[in-house]
Structure 1
Amino acid sequence: MHLHTLEVRQTALSLLRSGVRNAEVARRLDVPVGTVGYWKHLDRATRGECPGRGARDCARCHGLPLDHAAYAYLLGLYLGDGHISKYSGHRTYSLMITLDDRWPGVQDDAEAALRRVFPEHSTCRVGVKGAHNIKVYSNHLPCLFPQHGPGRKHERRIALEPWQQEIVDAFPWEFVRGLIHSDGCRTTNWTVRNGRRYEYPRYWFTNVSDDIRKLFTDTLDRLGVVWTNCTRHGKPYNVSVARKASVALMDAHVGPKH
């Protein structure tokens, strides 16, 4: 990843504060537009000027409408590859979802879900080696994602609150799709039968957290998807969906990453 000097960053911030658009700043300084957007967000967060600061814009605190389908998908992404943080000196929280560049469509879906769940807030993408961090800033992130806490997810208990479970029950496929798009995949396996090579599709979900895997498999159970737990090297981190009818269900509602 290319590192930009402090002088370049300060020049960019000066231009941004004067009203120059992100794309123009990126063009002048030969910096990726996503990086410029990230600098702008950090600058506004540090100065307490993030969009929606102080506003009544939280679905949980202020009773505003919440796009349940988008939230169910975003919840799956967050439990897989999401991270909420509040760095020293910042006045607001950030949600960052790290997604592989091999699947640009998943990155698009993630950013679209962020915009639907946080319609009053801006989003940005920050490039890292082989991936992009999809980000949004809001003081109300812990309200919408109460699973946030100190330490890694697999080192603490992860359970949905009743209102979250109601959303997942109403939009289970969106929740499953978010989990697969973050920590899952669709692959083609093969075996030999009667001397001939036989190929078949399989879905995998891999997560170190026992609680998150159980949320995934409990949802599959309610959807009628047959799954098996695959233990490798003594670690039961992998969930497999390989039966033909169950794969067909997954294909109809989730599909391969794109």
Structure 2
Amino acid sequence: MIRSGSKNVEAARHLNVPVGTVSYWLHEDRRRRGTLPGRKESVCPFCHGADLDHPSYAYLLGLYLGDGHIIQPPSHRTPSLMITCSNTWPGLMDECESAMRAVLPDNSVCRVRRIGCYNVKIYSKHLWCLFPQHGEGKKHERPIRLEPWQQRIIDEYPWEFIRGLIHSDGSRITNWTVRTIAGERKRYEYPRYFFTNTSRDILRLFTDALDRVGVEWKSANQRRAAQNISVAKRASVALMDAHVGPKY
């Protein structure tokens, strides 16, 4: 009746049911046919053959391996990817949101405020396809291995991947030292990059990417579980500044 032009109230009166029941039937019919207004089906590169924005994906993968996780509570029908960003770096939130929109252009992105930070979130049933590293528990307690198709993207866009890792679990700081020259003590300052993580696999992915772009690094010996990767050589810092830079 409705498809032939009748209104909801007319169909309800004819069938002797509440108008709300007819509205619900209409909603369910449109949902099954995929014609709900204002909604689009999420398009997946693997399930639907859609194009994947490789540079944005490489950056988002770095963020995910550092400060991200995928969850699907029992009360939710769709999993969500959540990247936690400190209030100190609003530009990082903007870049994270932009990358999410580029990788999943048909999905909405939101920011959930927390104490001292925001959780930048996106919901999609295809997050399992895009991030096969998901799993129960903490990342450093399970193996983290890239799929061949992910490795090809990282090989093509290593700087985007490095930038995502630095923006999540890295920093650019200024070290200083005092030297005595000609009897006068002088203070010298120099920039340095650090990447800190507990997962040996994620640390290896980071250092492999550094090797690929010609950045010299060293591992800082520490007794705590989390390990530091340091980039301090002048030429390597200059490369990092050109392609990564400090958080903002």
TM range (shorter): 0.7 to 0.9
2:232 counterpart of 1:246: no
Aligned to 1:100: 86
Percent identical pairs in the alignment equals 62
- The gaps in structure 2 that reach 5 residues or longer are 1-35
Aligned to 2:75: 89
Aligned to 1:73: 59
Displacement of 1:93 in angstroms is 0.5
Displacement of 1:61 in angstroms is 1.6
Alignment of 1:27-46 (within 5 A): none
Aligned to 1:176: 162
Which digits, 9 at most, give the CA deviation of each residue in 1:183-227, with x for residues without a partner? Answer: 001000011222311110000000110000100000000110000
Equivalent residue letter for 1:222 = R
**Structure with bigger gyration radius:** 2
2:136 counterpart of 1:150: yes
What root-mean-square deviation, in Å, do the aligned CA atoms of Structure 1 and Structure 2 show? 1.4
> What CA distance in whole angstroms lies between the structure 2 residues aligned with 1:109 and 1:159?
25
> What CA distance in whole angstroms lies between the structure 2 residues aligned with 1:108 and 1:56?
22
Q: 1:128 to 1:234 in 2, by over 3 A?
A: closer
Q: Equivalent residue of 2:46, what SS?
A: helix
Displacement of 1:233 in angstroms is 2.5
Equivalent residue letter for 1:130 = G
Contact 1:51 1:121 in 2 (8 A): no
Which digits, 9 at most, give the CA deviation of each residue in 1:47-94, with x for residues without a partner? Answer: xx9955xx3610122110000000000000000000100001211100
Aligned to 1:229: 219
Q: Which runs of 4+ in 1 moved over 3 A?
A: 49-52
Displacement of 1:141 in angstroms is 0.2
Please identify which structure carries the higher helix content.
1
Aligned to 1:3: none
Question: How many residues get paired?
Answer: 208
Contact 1:229 1:236 in 2 (8 A): no
2:107 counterpart of 1:121: yes
2:187 counterpart of 1:197: yes
Q: TM-score, normalised by structure 1?
A: 0.78
